[in-house]
Amino acid sequence: MEKRNKLKQLSIKELIELARGTDKKLIIPEGLKKSEIIKILEKNVTNKDIDKYLKEKRTKRGLRANYDGKTYESQIMTYFSKKGYKCTLNFKKKGKYEIDIVGEKEEKKLFSRNKRWVLVECKNRNVNSEDLRKFVGTYMAFKNRHKGDEVEGWFVYSGIADSKMKSLVKSYEGITLKRIPKKK
């Protein structure tokens, strides 16, 4: 089940790259649906193959890792800017919290104005439940400081989420979990 969960989170392009990168050098015929590709890979790849593929795809050290994280954050910030948010990268509340992206937009209604905020935590790697819990604490602190405004949280990652995260995120109102692969 863990293997299937990991495979389901990958895009079709990533599944095909994974197939070609295994010792078996699998060739996936064009035109197959994602579910059909997953069935083939479930029988022919191991969890170790998947982990190796993800590690090779994302492992960087030092300045290169920092650069990749920043470019991923910029990619995600562009996504929210296109949705009409005025975004700030690496927002810091001195001594309290840091948020990768804070987006703000003002919605004008007939007799009132409403501020909408989006807080985004970006992880250019595999993620786990502990990563999500840390973000939720930051999200709640921000939300408490902006009572009366609409605040939503997005936890965005490029790797694979552990199997507990999807059920865990449902227990947090206002938080969205989203995998967005890094553009090359």
Tens-digit pLDDT profile for residues 143-153: 998 988 999 99
Q: Choose among 16, 12, 48, 19: nearest CA to 33.
A: 12
Question: Pairing mode, if any, of strands 86-93 and 150-157?
Answer: unpaired
Distance CA 109, CA 105 (A): 13
pLDDT at 97 over 50: yes
Q: What are the distances in angstroms from CA 122 to CA 19, 47, 73, 74? A: 27, 25, 6, 10
What is the overall mean pLDDT for the chain? 85
- Which pLDDT does position 2 carry in this prediction? 83
Which of the four pLDDT bands, split at 50, 70 and 90, describes residue 174? very high
pLDDT at 112 over 80: no
What's the pTM value of the predicted model, to 2 decimals? Answer: 0.73
Helix, strand or coil for residue 32? coil
- Which pLDDT does position 151 carry in this prediction? 95
Which of the four pLDDT bands, split at 50, 70 and 90, describes residue 105? very high
Distance CA 49, CA 43 (A): 12
Tell me the pLDDT tens digit for each residue of 148-169. 899 999 999 988 898 888 889 9
- Which pLDDT does position 13 carry in this prediction? 85
- Which pLDDT does position 62 carry in this prediction? 47
Decide: 177 and 161 in contact? Cβ < 8 Å.
yes
Decide: 119 and 155 in contact? Cβ < 8 Å.
no
Q: Which of 55-59, 85-89, 114-118 shows the lowest per-residue confidence on average (mean pLDDT)?
A: 55-59
- Which pLDDT does position 85 carry in this prediction? 95
User: What is the average per-residue pLDDT within 120-137?
Assistant: 92
Residue type, 129: S
- Which pLDDT does position 64 carry in this prediction? 47
